[in-house]
Amino acid sequence: MGRGNVILGILGGVAVGALLGVLLAPDKGERTRKKILRKGEDYVDAMKDKLDDFVEDMNQKMEGMAKEAANALRRNKVRANAMVDEVVDKI
């Protein structure tokens, strides 16, 4: 299971637990609805933050991979040119 799935599972479990806690609490309906709305907004904000962190992490990894690929391509091009020069010298 991926890291993102674990985070989503944990946040989902926390959200369900908080919702049940608020719904079962002895409070007026209006106050309960406001609490649910506030908690929902908090969870949406938390999910946005987690998603932003995840996207930023993936972007950094992709940039690193692109740099590694460019470096490998450059090294292989140098090696290929050296091999071509060696073959041309032998001919």
22 Cβ partners below 8 Å, 6+ apart? 32, 35, 36, 39
Structure-model confidence comparison of residues 18 and 44, the more confident one: 44
Query: Could you tell me which of 74, 54, 77, 56 has the C-alpha nearest to residue 66?
Result: 74
Mean pLDDT over the full length of the chain: 85
Using pLDDT thresholds of 50, 70 and 90, give the confidence band for residue 10: confident
Over range 43-67, report the average pLDDT.
93
**Which range marks the domain in which residue 45 is found?**
3-90
Residue with tokens 């309906």: 29
Distance CA 15, CA 70 (A): 44
25 Cβ partners below 8 Å, 6+ apart? 32, 35
For residue 1, is pLDDT > 60? no
For residue 51, is pLDDT > 80? yes
Count of domains for the chain: 1
Over range 28-41, report the average pLDDT.
80
